[in-house]
Structure 1
Amino acid sequence: MTDPVFTPWLIPSDDFALYDALALLRASFQFMDARIDPPSSIHRLTVEGMREHCKDGGEIWAIGRPLLACMFLTPKPDCLYLGKLAVQEELRGQGICRTLVDHAASRATELGLPALELETRVELTENHRVFSRLGFTILNTGSHEGYNRPTDFLLRKPISLSADS
C-alpha cells in the first residue's frame, strides 16, 4: 500500500492517539476472550503502560487518522519484538497487517536487528496462518505461569541486513 493514508506513523508517548490505540486493541482482541486460556494481557493494558513502553525504548506505530491499525515494537538484543498488532475488523484482508509487518522489518534493519519475533496463542490458528504467509516460522512453544501445557508459540522472521536487500 503506497497510499499515504496507509503509511505507518509513530505515536508519541504524549499523544492522545494512545487512547485510540488502546480502544482499537481492546476491540480487536475481544474475540479471543472465549477462545484463549489464560486471558489476554490486553485487559491489563493502560495508556500509562503504553507511555512507559515508549519511554523504555519501545515504539507504538499506527496507520490512519482515525486509527485503522497499530502495533507495538520492542527492541531486544537479537530481534525486534512485534506485539499487540491490531487491524480494524472491517479492514482485515486488505494488506494492512502486511504493511505493518513490512514496516517492522524496516525498523529492525534500521536498528541492526536480524529478525522479527512475535508470540501468538496456540488456539488462534488463523493468526498462525497469517503470520506464516508473512514469512514467520514457529521457533518454539511457551507456557504461561501455572500452565503445564503450551499456551503460545514464539514465531520468528529473519531480516536481511545486507545493503542489497
Structure 2
Amino acid sequence: MEITRIGEGFGRWDELLALILSSFAYMDDVIDPPSSAHRLTLASLAQKAREEITFAAIEGGRLIGCIFCKPEQGFLYIGKLAIAPTSQGKGIGRRLLSLAEEIAREKGLPALRLETRIELTGNHATFARWGFAKTAENAHPGFTRTTSIEMQKRLD
C-alpha cells in the first residue's frame, strides 16, 4: 500500500467520492442529520481537496482510504477519514492519522481535532484507543439534542 498526496494532477474524483460514500454508508440509517458526505459532488470534492491537505491510500491501483486535513487555530482538523469497507481493520486509518500528526507537527499545531456523530459509539471507542479524548458535545443547526462530539489528540 502507498499513501500519496492528492494534488492538482489527481483525476480520480469519481473513485474518491465512491470511496467516501461507501465507507460512510453504514451511517445512513443510524445518524440524524444525514452525513455531509451526501452533499459532496465531484466539483465540491475537488475544491475541498484543493483547500485542504488531502491524502489517498492506494493498494493494487485501487483507492482504499483517504484523509482530509485542515489547519485551524491551534489544531489540525481531520475530516472525511474514509477507509473502504473491505480494507477496514488493517491499520490504514491509523497510518493516515499518523501522517496527519506529522503534518500538524510541521505546521507547529499542538493537536488534532475531529468530530464524530453521537450515535457512532464504535468510532468514539476507536478514536479513544488512538489517543483522542472527548472535548465537547455539539448540536447541528435545527437540533436541540447533541448530534456530534468533538475529540482531540494532543501531540507531544
What's the TM-score, normalizing by structure 2?
0.94
Aligned residues: 154
The correspondence for 1:114, drawn from 110, 113, 116, is 110
Q: Which residue of 2 aligns with 1:124?
A: 120
Q: Is the 8 A contact 1:13 1:51 kept in 2?
A: no
The correspondence for 1:36, drawn from 19, 22, 31, is 31
Q: Is the 8 A contact 2:56 2:67 kept in 1?
A: yes
Q: Which residue of 2 aligns with 1:163?
A: none
CA offsets per residue over residues 34-68 of structure 1, 9 Å max, x none? 00000111110122112222333x12211113111
Q: Which residue of 2 aligns with 1:9?
A: 4
Q: Which residue of 2 aligns with 1:24?
A: 19
The correspondence for 1:154, drawn from 120, 145, 150, is 150
The correspondence for 2:132, drawn from 125, 131, 136, is 136
Q: Which residue of 2 aligns with 1:71?
A: 67
Matched, 1:61 2:55: yes
CA offsets per residue over residues 7-49 of structure 1, 9 Å max, x none? 3211114411222111100011111010000011111012211
For residues 13 and 146 of structure 1, the distance between their equivalents in structure 2, rounded to whole angstroms, comes to: 37
Q: Secondary structure at the match of 1:149?
A: coil
User: Which ranges in structure 1 are unaligned for 5 or more consecutive residues?
Assistant: 161-165
For residues 27 and 95 of structure 2, the distance between their equivalents in structure 1, rounded to whole angstroms, comes to: 23
For residues 95 and 45 of structure 1, the distance between their equivalents in structure 2, rounded to whole angstroms, comes to: 26
Q: Secondary structure at the match of 2:137?
A: strand
Q: Which residue of 1 aligns with 2:43?
A: 48
Moved more, 40-49 or 8-17: 8-17
Q: Is the 8 A contact 1:79 1:115 kept in 2?
A: yes
Richer in strand (by share): 2
Amino acid at match of 2:11: F
For residues 106 and 62 of structure 2, the distance between their equivalents in structure 1, rounded to whole angstroms, comes to: 27
Over the matched positions of the two proteins, sequence identity in percent amounts to 39
